[in-house]
Amino acid sequence: MPAGLSWPAAAALALAALALLLALCRHLWALRWSLSRDRASALPLPKGSMGWPFFGETLHWLLQGSRFHSSRRERYGNVFKTHLLGRPVVRVTGAENIRKILLGEHTLVSAQWPQSTQIILGSHTLLGSIGDLHRQRRKILARVFCRTALESYLPRIQKVVSWELRGWCMEPGSIAVYSSAKTLTFRIAARILLGLRLEEKQFKDLAKTFEQLVENLFSLPLNIPFSGLRKGIKARDMLHEFMEKAIQEKLQRTNSEDHSDALDFIINSAKEHGKEFTMQELKESAIELIFAAFFTTASASTSLILLLLKHPSAIKKIRQELMSHELYPKCQCCPAGPSPDTLPTQGRDSKKQLPAVARDTHEDQSQCSGPLEEAEPSSGLSPQPPALSEPTQPQSSPQPQACHCPSDISLEKLSRLRYLDCVIKEVLRVLPPVSGGYRTALQTFELDGYQIPKGWSVMYSIRDTHETAAIYQSPPGGFDPDRFSATRPEAVSRFHYIPFGGGARSCIGKELAQAILKLLAIELVTTARWELATPAYPAMQTVPIVHPVDGLQLYFHPLRPGCSSEA
């Protein structure tokens, strides 16, 4: 301690020196990125902050969630710079800006996921491939999601959805919808896409391990003990060990009738394109399939249930549409029960008063008639047996006679449900599961009057673009499925609505995801009613994926008590 200075004065001096040092480090960090601009371009870098050395603004992003981007967009505009997960990033909002990025794949930009994501998922995935390799892999994977494949998945998906929802209705208390939706979508991914036949304990262990992998996909690239990356790598290695055994068993099968899951389609499609996948490629492809179908579809399923709860008029319209197409189940084996619209919105504990379900003020009864995308012709692949060991009735219990609920749904029948299609689109617009996508600049280019330097990451925002699009006739913040009616301009806008991305990297499994959501919606509105188990609707968290902070606690009740949904 310098002579003549008291301890408080010395401490204050030390703190001042530390603050000066931190300010200098932050200034030098910002200067380092300012000097990285392309001198050949006269355009300035986007406005924004690069945060602190190495960490950038990653901690702010993880803590603030969607507020991080919205606050900076309000301050800096639709194009701003930041530093996330170890890389300089330009965050982009707006249809015209995003159009240039999505259509510039392989020329202006290329896929660039965070380093932690690349390490955990591996180098043989569609997400991580670029150029000709990406085109080749996409052709191989297209077979998994063609109409023939989707038709073979639908009966099994319908049985899984029906069985899971019966379990929700049988719960005496509330359930956490997000957690239950993850169980549902993981069961679909594991059993129907990968053909895994698991005991329930195996299933739960595998789901827990996979959840640990996904939760650490977006982490700082520090492979040290107790870090997110280390946890993700550990989960990946455990999954790869399990998948290798399962794939070896699959490759040794001789019964061709069993070959109708997505992994079989990948193996056969690769052979048709003159490529034999290695075991490492098959393991990484299997993990990628679950990743693509698991969390995002669980998020969208939770959002669907939440938004239908908030807007019961949409439920009524869906039921009317199902009846008009003779798809509403007429269950003859059990009593019809009271109308769901007349049931009280009170919890199972009569002493606990719960808020009434909010009524949608939008009473327009017009049906949405937007056309679905064309698909390839169907074929007659025979479906596999049910995926799960479903609960059976005791032998002494008589089986219900002539029960016709639910009806089998085909792709052709789903395509007739125009209003339901609009509801699913609106759910994905209001609460898109993934907030955006990552690219890296292959060359310096201009965007909204700023330069995007070669080598920088570009993160385009799906959520912010949906929230700020000026094309919508009704307020973007409202829930209005009819905005996707064929008579409305929103129905044909290309880059104002991008829940599945766009361009060369648009989500290849979007038709499957939409089919799962439609089957879930049909099962929900025809067999169950649901209500809040909490005093208010939960806030939504957006990192790493959109979900309610409390998991969405709901009570589920069967519409027809005692009715089995098995034919």
Q: How many helices (H) and strands (E) does the chain have?
A: 18, 12
Alpha carbon 321 to its chain's center: 26
Q: Measured between alpha carbons, how far is 238 from 244 in angstroms, rounded to an integer?
A: 10
Q: What's the token pair of residue 461? A: 């925002």
Contact 160, 192 (CB under 8 A): yes
Q: Measured between alpha carbons, how far is 113 from 309 in angstroms, rounded to an integer?
A: 35
Please choose, from the candidates 318, 231, 249, the residue with its C-alpha nearest in 3D space to the C-alpha of residue 286.
249
Q: How far apart are the first and last CA of the chain?
A: 85
Q: Measured between alpha carbons, how far is 427 from 417 in angstroms, rounded to an integer?
A: 16
Coil vs helix vs strand at 257? helix
Contact partners, residue 404, CB within 8 Å, separation at least 6: 329, 330, 331, 332, 567
Residue 333, marked binder:
no
β-bridge partners, 78: none
How many other β-carbons are positioned within 10 Å of the β-carbon of residue 279? 13
Buried-state track 517-538, b at ≥16 Cβ within 10 A, e below 16:
bbbbbbbbbbbbbbbbbeeeeb
Known binding residues for heme: 507
Known binding residues: 507
